[in-house]
Amino acid sequence: MKRTRIRTRRELRDLILTTGFLPFFSNEIDGYSVMDVTSGLYWWTGDERSDPWAWRMFLAEEPDIAYCKIFRGRAGFVSKEWVPYFASYRRDGYDFDTRYEVGKASQKSKAIMDLFEKQPLIESYRMKSMAGFSKNGRTGFEQTIALLQMQTYIIMRSFTRKLSKTGNPYGWHIAVFSLSEDKFGYKHMTSAYRLGAEGSKDKLVGQMLKVNRGIEPSEAERFLK
């Protein structure tokens, strides 16, 4: 990706919309991440004006951006325009209910997905307990929600903090999840199904090659798996 220096949240938003999708952390493709295009001096400072780690919380709320663990189980951004291609490729044409019915989704995944029938937005720590993940219950919560994000069924919509008994926020910021369709609509999320998984993968690979001059198609394919 062409070397650039991002200094503001707005500039990062514009870059995401221009590139179509962008990993959050450095990876094997040189320069292709939020971390690569921002100064390390400002990371994890807590300053919302300059800290890219803080920016993710605001960008997750943007109506035309999805934020989730979409790149090999690691976080990244996808523009609304490109979300359908990820959905078509990663879901291989299966809505979740159908995926479960044909035996391609686990009971753990279903336990999480079922929660959204009653609540559109759920904090990660509440989701864990509500779906029965505990010391004496189901295991593998983090792996399960990472898989559901990779398959584009759920995304991080915002971030919040726990409240004390007196109503004061405390602790780290916590992700709030929703179904991807809840943000972008079913029609939009499934609009690239017509291309099939291979056709959608070709679109994604083509965009990666356009943004990252010099990489091979095989590199892009491996990265997008």
Read off the CATH number of the domain in which 128 is found: 1.10.10.10
Is the model's pLDDT at 24 over the cut of 90?
A: yes
Is the model's pLDDT at 136 over the cut of 90?
A: no
The more confident residue out of 20 and 135 is 20
Query: What average pLDDT is seen over the chain?
Result: 96
Query: Has residue 162 been placed in a domain?
Result: yes
| 55-67 residue pLDDT tens | 999 999 999 999 9
Q: Which residues pair with 79 in a beta bridge?
A: 65
Count of domains for the chain: 1
In whole angstroms, give the CA distance from residue 202 to residue 207: 9
Q: Which of 20, 28, 147 is nearest to 80 (CA)?
A: 20
Q: Which residues pair with 170 in a beta bridge?
A: 162
Query: Has residue 179 been placed in a domain?
Result: yes
CA within 13 Å, CB half, 114: 12
Query: Has residue 184 been placed in a domain?
Result: yes
Is the model's pLDDT at 135 over the cut of 80?
A: no
Q: Mean pLDDT throughout 157-182?
A: 95
Is the model's pLDDT at 3 over the cut of 70?
A: no
Name the pTM for this structure.
0.94
Query: Has residue 131 been placed in a domain?
Result: yes
Q: Mean pLDDT throughout 35-49?
A: 94
Query: Has residue 70 been placed in a domain?
Result: no
Q: Which two tokens stand for residue 23?
A: 């990993």
Is the model's pLDDT at 1 over the cut of 90?
A: no
Q: Which residues pair with 87 in a beta bridge?
A: none
Q: Mean pLDDT throughout 7-29?
A: 97
Query: Has residue 208 been placed in a domain?
Result: no
Q: Which two tokens stand for residue 65?
A: 């951006």
For residue 169, what are the domain limits?
Answer: 94-189
Which helix (H) or strand (E) covers residue 155, if one does? strand 154-163
Q: Mean pLDDT throughout 138-150?
A: 96
In whole angstroms, give the CA distance from residue 45 to residue 47: 5
Q: Mean pLDDT throughout 168-197?
A: 97
Q: Mean pLDDT throughout 28-36?
A: 96
Query: Has residue 104 been placed in a domain?
Result: yes
Q: Mean pLDDT throughout 147-157?
A: 99
Query: Has residue 163 been placed in a domain?
Result: yes
The more confident residue out of 136 and 206 is 206
Q: Which of 14, 27, 103 is nearest to 65 (CA)?
A: 14
pLDDT for the residue numbered 137? 80
